[in-house]
Amino acid sequence: MKKIFVFCGVAFLAANAMADTGKATLDLAAVFSRALLNDPGYLQAKELRNAATESESQAIAQLLPFFSVSGGSDWNYLYNKKSGFQGQGLQRYWVHQFTVNLNQPVFHWEYWVQLSQSENETAKAEAEFHNAYQDLMVRTIEAYLDVLHAKDNLSFAVAEKESLSRQLEQAQQRFDVGLIAITDVLEAQSGFDGAHASEIFAQNSVDNAREGLREIIDEYQGVLAELPNEIPLMKPDPLDIDQWAVAADNQNLDIIAGQNQVELARKAIELQRTGHYPTVDVVGDYGYLDNASSFGGRGDTGSVGLQFNLPIFEGGAVNSRVREALYRFNAEKNRLLAVRRQVTRKVRNAYRGVISTISQVKALRSTVKSSTMSLKATEVGFEVGTRTMVDVVNERRNLFEAQKNLSEARNSYIMNWVGLKESASSLAESDIDTLNDLLVSPVVASTPVVEPDPM
């Protein structure tokens, strides 16, 4: 029954592998291209950027002349009950009229302040949009690597289970002829059951990781190109954590957006102060009237002049709004300070992460090699009776754990590199291409099949 169970599980995985071979291979560049078209967060930021750019046009419009035309035609009737120079009787007549109005602002300081604010709004929106673009790159790379890491863990779990199934079969055969004790068989059984549980967990992790990628790029079919076992490990350039921190402080997009927000808040103080300033406008109008009644007439009127307005007292509302704007300005300055400190922390952590994961990957490569040799030696020792099944199971588990840790450290190295460049806002699509050049087509390994027991 154990062989039947293993056979079914292996056959299922082999069927999945064969199904994947018929699907197109997607690399990171193709996935990112789909993300640009389908990610809701990025598309939202793009539309918000487009909306913010309209504020400058609206601010300019306030400085330009305003024309309006109004008019109408009315059908009237008038019944005059009294006698007079117009006589008694009913009159029916049309009245036609239209008016043209002109208003040209001459001095409205608040309009100029709003125009200046619109420039900061546009710059802030641009920074936020480019930040969303970089954030999309980070999320896409992370989701892509999560899928690859989950698939690696599944491969390790499947390989571990298959290896332990063979070990269990050998232990059972050796027990049947009296070469080992039942405890060795139970240890092999325990190791196999644990590996099977790990495989189930790993398969669920693969499905979850694929859902994370699907959230960004929508539905997709195909298998992902994979990272090779060995990737180049490069140290940051420049190799100076302080230079990276300075670069991030100067060009990080979150900081640039925050600086523009502070400027908006500062100019809002001036905007509220304009409530005390006078305004001057050139105003003009032209009107035409045609009254067809017996007492009406036809004619036109026009006027041009300067309109001056000076606020005197509004109950202290203007001063209150100025104080409110000042408080908000101080709040924005503190928010920007917090962003600067967060960016500094992130860039320093990412820098140290790159350095540490380089050493970690190198150490884990050695661990995998030594664990492989240790497992082989333990298996030989088990064959000659100097090592137990417990030793074999533990060594095999140590090997697969080292392989999983190496896969995770490799992905952590890449993500620390990406995070370092994002913090300095130097992450570009060329970095996607650089990572894409490392990828290789997935290789579907042949899966050994355990023959089932004859029924």
Residue that wins the pLDDT comparison between 97 and 163: 97
| Residue 222 token pair | 């195909």
* Per-residue burial over 10-48, b = 16 or more CB atoms within 10 Å of its CB, e = otherwise: beebeeebeeeeeeebbbbebbbbbbbebbeebeebeee
pLDDT at residue 429 tops 50:
yes
Percentage of the chain lying above the pLDDT 90 cut? 64
pLDDT at residue 18 tops 50:
no
pLDDT at residue 29 tops 90:
yes
Give the distance, in angstroms, between the CA of residue 77 and the centroid of all CA atoms in the same chain: 69
Tens of pLDDT, residue by residue over 129-140, are 999 999 999 999
pLDDT at residue 161 tops 80:
yes
Per-residue model confidence (pLDDT) at position 3: 44
Q: How far apart are alpha carbons 208 and 147 in whole angstroms?
A: 8
pLDDT at residue 5 tops 70:
no
Tens of pLDDT, residue by residue over 58-94, are 999 999 999 999 988 888 777 666 655 455 567 777 8
Strand partners, 74: 95
Average confidence (pLDDT) over 441-450: 47
Helix, strand, coil percent values for the chain (each to nearest 5) = 65, 15, 20
Domains of the chain: 2-438 (1.20.1600.10)
Identify the CA nearest to 152 among candidates 452, 401, 434. Answer: 401
pLDDT-based confidence at 6, cuts 50/70/90? Answer: very low
Per-residue model confidence (pLDDT) at position 191: 82
Q: CA–CA distance from 209 to each of 149, 202, 268 (Å)?
A: 9, 10, 46
| Neighbouring residues of 91: CB distance < 8 A, sequence distance ≥ 6 | 77, 78, 79, 80, 293, 294
Tens of pLDDT, residue by residue over 303-360, are 999 999 999 998 999 999 999 999 999 999 999 999 999 999 999 999 999 999 999 9
| Residue 146 token pair | 């999560």
pLDDT-based confidence at 452, cuts 50/70/90? Answer: very low
Tens of pLDDT, residue by residue over 357-395, are 999 999 999 999 999 999 899 888 878 878 877 788 788
Average confidence (pLDDT) over 173-197: 84
Q: How far apart are alpha carbons 151 and 168 in whole angstroms?
A: 25
Q: How far apart are alpha carbons 195 and 161 in whole angstroms?
A: 5
pLDDT-wise least confident of 248-257, 261-270, 288-297, 403-412: 288-297
> In a 10 Å sphere around its CB, with 0-12 CB exposed, 13-18 middle and 19+ buried, how is residue 123 labelled?
middle
Per-residue model confidence (pLDDT) at position 68: 94
Strand partners, 436: none
Residue that wins the pLDDT comparison between 293 and 448: 293
- Residues recorded for the chain: 455
Q: CA–CA distance from 355 to each of 154, 230, 241, 422 (Å)?
A: 28, 17, 11, 17
Q: How far apart are alpha carbons 417 and 31 in whole angstroms?
A: 19
pLDDT at residue 180 tops 50:
yes
Per-residue model confidence (pLDDT) at position 424: 94
Per-residue model confidence (pLDDT) at position 293: 62
pLDDT at residue 292 tops 80:
no
> What SS3 class is residue 73?
strand
Which amino acid would we find at residue 288? Y
Mean pLDDT across the chain, nearest whole number?
A: 87
pLDDT at residue 224 tops 60:
yes
pLDDT at residue 442 tops 90:
no
Q: Which is it for strands 298-309 and 25-26: parallel, antiparallel or unpaired? A: unpaired
Is residue 286 within 8 A of residue 100, CB to CB? The reply is yes
Q: How far apart are alpha carbons 256 and 126 in whole angstroms?
A: 10
pLDDT at residue 449 tops 80:
no
Tens of pLDDT, residue by residue over 228-257, are 988 999 999 999 999 999 999 999 999 999
Per-residue model confidence (pLDDT) at position 220: 78
| Residue 299 token pair | 């004619």
Q: CA–CA distance from 303 to each of 70, 106, 306 (Å)?
A: 16, 17, 10
